[in-house]
Structure 1
Amino acid sequence: MPTSPDSHDSDTTITVDIVSDVVCPWCIIGYRQLAEAARQSGIDIEVHWHPFELNPQMGEEGENLREHIAAKYGTSDEDSRSARERLTQMGADLGFTFNYADDMRMVNTFRAHQLIDWAEQRSPDEGHRMKQALFSAFFTERRDLHRIDVLADVAASLGHDRDEVVAMLESGERGESVRQRQAFWQQQGISGVPAMVFNRRYLVTGAQGVENYQEVLAQVAAERAEVTS
């Protein structure tokens, strides 16, 4: 894979570029599995989040999540309920709370990505914190991540200036940056999420499970050790 324009090198840390959307349940599942794999393996990772919109044409009012999934994927009510139960259990096993409800809504995430981009410009750590907070805001608290006031509240909860965030989102000043970053990954063939690129060379798609991520990390670490020895 080509080098991401906002990735960094390290002699000992494995860089993981994760392309994802904040309304993608498998994205937070995959990340939590990866983080657990890194913890169990004792391998340091540096995560960089990159924007992807699952529903770029989603309207201002959003859509009922269950109805949206049924229309998009042809999923029956029973299959949808089973999938939500499975995700809820997987999340619980990884320390994340999915709080699904029949009236939960799918929303437009372009502003959420602008907020993450804004935080990422301050530091990768701030971008990571914002991404995690937005995952929780959507899946646990069922908040509308298209609303500027909701996004500003999330940012303020992390210590950011609420008025500054409102002004940034109202101006759309980070919109072009998000579009450019989305285009970069789409040009590399990324069409679904989560998509993880390890050390800018190895692409792994989907939530692969802790054991599989351990194998990937071990292989990447071993290769780096061979190159640097």
Structure 2
Amino acid sequence: MNQATPLRIDIVSDVVCPWCAVGYSQLAEALKQTNTEYEIHWHPFELNPDTPSEGRNWREHIANKYGSSKEQSDAMRARITEAGAEVGFEFNFTEETRTYNTFDMHQLLHWADQQGCMHELKQALLAAHFTHARALSSREVLADIAAEIGLDRKEALTVLEDQRFADKVRQAQQQWRQQGIQSVPSVIFNQQHLVSGAQGVENFKSILQQLADMPR
């Protein structure tokens, strides 16, 4: 599906959002299958900005937020794991699985964007969280992950410690809230077509085909 100019895709998401990992993987597969030229721009969203710095047990968090029983929680985990496996993303949930405050992560992603590595860091953070259960509440761990994709570890740590991008991230989050974004993932094609949630590969392929057929 060749286009004169790449399809612009803005994705508003959070690192601790499992459906964000699934939804992106589905979209990536649809883009591959349709041979679509594209450029992706990631944007920050905090699902739970009140999460303490040390994080929370994820099962307890879901129970408190949604009133989910253990059976409902298990069923949700199974659905997420299956949906991820279908598009090559591995989830490893345990009783110790935690959710974290992601404000530091979004600041690190903002910095990585300036180095041209935001997409790589986003994927590394999603895998670190959902596949490898790394302690993302630790700035040392976050700096390690940045270094693993080729960024300067010392600079990454400094960025987190001095919080130099805190205002920029808050501003970006506010801008998307003002545009009506209340849930993630939210995918905006060509800055005008909003699609919410993990739509599935076939649905994303259909959306991409419709966009390709539109007059530009």
- Which TM-score band applies after superposition, normalised by the shorter structure? over 0.9
Report Cα offsets for 1:71-101 as digits up to 9, x if no partner.
1011110011111112112211211110100
Answer yes or no: is 1:96 the counterpart of 2:80.
no
Answer yes or no: is 1:200 the counterpart of 2:182.
no
Off by >3 Å, runs of 4+ in structure 1: none
For residue 31 of structure 1, what is the amino acid of its counterpart? Y
Report Cα offsets for 1:50-81 as digits up to 9, x if no partner.
00000111112211100100110111100111
Which residue is 1:178 aligned to? 169
Answer yes or no: is 1:153 the counterpart of 2:144.
yes
SS in structure 1 of the partner of residue 12 of structure 2: strand
Report Cα offsets for 1:171-208 as digits up to 9, x if no partner.
00011111111111001000000000000010000101
Which residue is 2:47 aligned to? 54
Which residue is 2:201 aligned to? 210
Give the structure-1-normalised TM-score: 0.91
Answer yes or no: is 1:127 the counterpart of 2:132.
no
The answer as to whether partners of 1:17 and 1:50 remain within 8 angstroms in 2 is yes
Q: CA deviation at 1:132?
A: 0.2
- C-alpha distance in 2 between matches for 1:149 and 1:173: 17
Q: CA deviation at 1:141?
A: 1.1
- C-alpha distance in 2 between matches for 1:182 and 1:128: 18
Which residue is 1:7 aligned to? none
- C-alpha distance in 1 between matches for 2:37 and 2:21: 19
Alignment map for 1:23-102 (pairs within 5 Å)? 23-102=16-95
Which residue is 1:162 aligned to? 153
Q: CA deviation at 1:144?
A: 2.2
The answer as to whether partners of 1:111 and 1:145 remain within 8 angstroms in 2 is no
Number of residue pairs matched by the alignment: 214
- C-alpha distance in 1 between matches for 2:90 and 2:35: 25
SS in structure 2 of the partner of residue 203 of structure 1: strand
Which residue is 1:116 aligned to? 109
- C-alpha distance in 2 between matches for 1:60 and 1:133: 20
- C-alpha distance in 1 between matches for 2:166 and 2:147: 20
Give me the identity figure in percent: 51
Report Cα offsets for 1:113-166 as digits up to 9, x if no partner.
11111001222xx10000000000100111222211010000010111111111
SS in structure 2 of the partner of residue 108 of structure 1: coil
SS in structure 2 of the partner of residue 85 of structure 1: helix
Question: What is the root-mean-square deviation in Å for CA atoms of aligned residues?
Answer: 1.1
- C-alpha distance in 2 between matches for 1:60 and 1:214: 39
- C-alpha distance in 2 between matches for 1:77 and 1:131: 30
SS in structure 1 of the partner of residue 40 of structure 2: strand
Gaps of 5+ in 1: 1-9
Comparing 37-46 with 181-190, which one deviates more in the overlay? 37-46
Comparing 58-67 with 23-32, which one deviates more in the overlay? 58-67
- C-alpha distance in 2 between matches for 1:161 and 1:195: 30
Gaps of 5+ in 2: none
For residue 62 of structure 1, what is the amino acid of its counterpart? G
